[in-house]
Homo-oligomer: A and B are copies of this chain.
Amino acid sequence: MSKKIIVIGGSAAGPKAAAKARRMDEFAEITMFQKGPDLSMASCGFPYFVGGFFDDRNKLLCTPTGVVRDPQFYWNAKGIKAIVNTEITRINRENKTVEFTNIETGESGVEGYDKLVIATGATPNMPPLPGINLKGISTLQSMQDADYLRKVRDEGHIKKAVVIGGGLIGLETLEALHLAGIELTLIELLPQLLTFLDWKIAKIVEKYLKTKANVITENGVAEFIGENGKLIAVKLQNGTEIPCELAVVAIGVRPNIKLAKEAGLDIGELGGIKVDEFMQTSDPDIYAAGDCCEIKNLITGKNVLAPYGDLANLEGRVIGENIVKGNKVKFPGTIQTGICKLFDYGVGITGLSEARVKETEIDYIKVVNASPDKPGFMDGKLLITKLIAERSTGRILGVQCIGPGDVSKQLAIWATAIKGDLTIDDMVNNDLPYAPPFSLAIDHSIATAHLIQNKRDGIFEGISALDLKEKLDRGDDMYILDTRGPDEFEQTRLGIGERLIPIGLLRKRLNELPQDKSKEIITYCKISLRGYEAAVLLKAHGYTNVKVLEGGIAAWPFAFEK
């Protein structure tokens, strides 16, 4: 008799599990239930539909050759019975059945399974605030949300909008609406955006974002204000009112675990379904994948919620194989690699941020490198990378990378390096593909590894922008040395009491430096390469307390004098 497989959820992990199971077993009966009307939506693509990168909504629902992934497609091409607009209301583990209700017709029924896959996803959090039900308040989670916001773009009536929440989805939505010609304000309750990044890196992104939108941090929404049932403003916790006709809420998601919980499956501490490395729940006939689950962070060993579309697919594939062949393949876990496009910037992380390393016992070193991705003559663009490694072994713990340069490639390199347990000493001679259209002769990632090696080996000492700012604010007595050229100094400068001595004149003008060789000296330039050379030079001339401002002016998150 053929095996009966039921999949709950038709977005990412569900269809992947179903399709893989079909390829593993041509004769299994596979049924996939989807609560909404659409299947296999490219939901990560919603912001780009809203933002006008393309116009045909079907592209979000199609195979690469343009066939809409509807129930008929699933049946014909994959032999999968896909049932839409139908909610599973109960899992009965004893009978091994599920109960379902068609949410349009109200019709209900029961279906038996040998193996069950739960891929119920997550639901956007909505703040329980006055006015939350006004017209003009949306999320960007469903195809219907995407259609609504795209309509906003196409109609062009709405002039002002707020985005609530400065995470990945919030920022992607902000870009999309900005491209629709809407004036935007971003509201974030916490003191920084993108809390998976470290403070300084997030602040550089914020500084950039402020060239596109109003950004309000450390201030939440207190109330949505309406007129005739329509949103006209949001009121912040500090009383400020921001007029707007549209508010998009993006304050995170929570796993949909109601069914699993009611069925008595184990739920993790973070509120996601517990699964083992086979993606099997506490019931051996039930598997779960995607945003409704907790999975393991491979660096800390602790469980995390990691609602990423790529992981959902990989997890679904593992399930598809295991439910047919028995537990054969493992999903090892995640290092929580994430990226988003923010106008001309890429912004992302792989592995741990410094803040998260601090929650562990690991002793670490870190460095910030700001340098271009390609040669100047090939229109190279800036990358700012923060690299964190274990002090004793050099093992790479995490990398944050932002900037107009090729962030995606950098993170892909570092993610693979973490996968391979590589150390900074391995990375200094990584044999990467080099030609000027693609990278510098010494790739940015290699230069970053060189830099942290130099720092670890005591060749230079670094100081972060944040630490320097603190010193400045408390009035520390320092000698601050800008080593750029006079032209550059005329164009941009920090204005923190620095003196200018171009690197090429430094050897001749050493006499201008403090006589006291133990005086604290901070060196920098545009990206702190010349700053680094200056520090090494001064150290050789007996200065004992020289620090390089890491990432230089390019990574300075505060205001410039000019």
User: B64 near A332 (CB under 8 angstroms)?
Assistant: no
User: A341 near B23 (CB under 8 angstroms)?
Assistant: no
Closest to A526 in B: B65
How many Å lie between the Cα of A44 and that of B527 in the bound state?
24
A419's partner among B348, B372, B430 (CB-CB below 8 A) is B430
How many Å lie between the Cα of A42 and that of B435 in the bound state?
11
User: B42 near A433 (CB under 8 angstroms)?
Assistant: no
Chain A: how many interface residues by the 8 Å CB criterion?
103
Cβ-based interface call for A280 (8 A): no
How many Å lie between the Cα of A412 and that of B53 in the bound state?
27
A377's partner among B25, B48, B377 (CB-CB below 8 A) is B48
- Min Cβ gap A12→B in Å is 7
A435's partner among B311, B341, B434 (CB-CB below 8 A) is B341
Cβ-based interface call for A26 (8 A): yes
Residues of B near A408 (CB, < 8 A) are 406, 409, 433, 438-439
How many Å lie between the Cα of A348 and that of B53 in the bound state?
30
Residues of B near A415 (CB, < 8 A) are 430-433
Closest to A49 in B: B377
Query: Given A350-B433, A438-B346, are A45 and B378 neighbors across the interface (CB < 8 Å)?
Result: yes
Cβ-based interface call for A488 (8 A): yes
User: A23 near B459 (CB under 8 angstroms)?
Assistant: yes
Cβ-based interface call for A485 (8 A): yes
Please provide the chain A residues from 393 to 435 with a CB less than 8 Å away from any CB of chain B in the complex. Answer: 406-409, 411-413, 415-422, 426-435
Residues of B near A25 (CB, < 8 A) are 540
- Min Cβ gap A551→B in Å is 15
Which of A159-167, A248-256, A467-475, A499-507 sits within the interface? Answer: A499-507
User: A438 near B341 (CB under 8 angstroms)?
Assistant: yes
Cβ-based interface call for A442 (8 A): yes
Give the number of times this chain occurs in the complex, counting copies. Answer: 2
Cβ-based interface call for A558 (8 A): no
How many Å lie between the Cα of A48 and that of B437 in the bound state?
9
Residues of B near A27 (CB, < 8 A) are 540
User: B504 near A73 (CB under 8 angstroms)?
Assistant: yes
Query: Given A408-B409, A536-B23, are A431 and B317 neighbors across the interface (CB < 8 Å)?
Result: no
Residues of B near A334 (CB, < 8 A) are 431
How many Å lie between the Cα of A413 and that of B350 in the bound state?
14
Closest to A79 in B: B507
1/0 per residue A526-542: CB within 8 Å of B?
Answer: 11001001001100110
Closest to A55 in B: B377
Residues of B near A526 (CB, < 8 A) are 64-65
- Min Cβ gap A26→B in Å is 3
Cβ-based interface call for A338 (8 A): yes
How many Å lie between the Cα of A89 and that of B406 in the bound state?
44
Residues of B near A73 (CB, < 8 A) are 504
Query: Given A377-B42, A377-B48, A459-B23, are A310 and B442 neighbors across the interface (CB < 8 Å)?
Result: yes
Query: Given A377-B60, A526-B65, are A350 and B431 neighbors across the interface (CB < 8 Å)?
Result: yes
How many Å lie between the Cα of A296 and that of B555 in the bound state?
38
Please provide the chain A residues from 160 to 185 with a CB less than 8 Å away from any CB of chain B in the complex. Answer: 168, 172
How many Å lie between the Cα of A54 and that of B377 in the bound state?
6
How many Å lie between the Cα of A435 and that of B507 in the bound state?
48
Cβ-based interface call for A547 (8 A): no
Cβ-based interface call for A76 (8 A): yes
How many Å lie between the Cα of A376 and that of B334 in the bound state?
26
Of listed A62, A372, A376, residue having the most chain B CB within 10 A = A376
- Min Cβ gap A379→B in Å is 8
Cβ-based interface call for A340 (8 A): yes
Please provide the chain A residues from 428 to 464 with a CB less than 8 Å away from any CB of chain B in the complex. Answer: 428-439, 441-443, 446, 450, 459
How many Å lie between the Cα of A312 and that of B350 in the bound state?
30
Cβ-based interface call for A478 (8 A): no
User: B504 near A436 (CB under 8 angstroms)?
Assistant: no
- Min Cβ gap A507→B in Å is 6
User: B435 near A64 (CB under 8 angstroms)?
Assistant: no
Residues of B near A60 (CB, < 8 A) are 377
1/0 per residue A210-251: CB within 8 Å of B?
Answer: 000000000000000000000000000000000000000000
Closest to A372 in B: B64
Residues of B near A386 (CB, < 8 A) are none
User: A432 near B412 (CB under 8 angstroms)?
Assistant: yes
User: B310 near A45 (CB under 8 angstroms)?
Assistant: no
Residues of B near A172 (CB, < 8 A) are 435
Residue ranges of A at the interface with B (Cβ–Cβ < 8 Å):
12, 23-27, 42, 44-45, 48-49, 53-54, 59-60, 62, 64-65, 67, 73, 76-79, 168, 172, 298, 308-314, 317, 331-332, 334-341, 346, 348, 350, 372, 375-378, 406-409, 411-413, 415-422, 426-439, 441-443, 446, 450, 459, 484-485, 488, 503-505, 507, 526-527, 530, 533, 536-537, 540-541
A sample of 17 cross-chain residue pairs with beta-carbon separation below 8 angstroms, ordered by A number, consists of: A23-B536, A24-B459, A26-B541, A45-B378, A59-B375, A64-B376, A64-B527, A67-B504, A77-B530, A310-B431, A314-B428, A350-B431, A406-B409, A407-B433, A408-B438, A416-B430, A420-B426
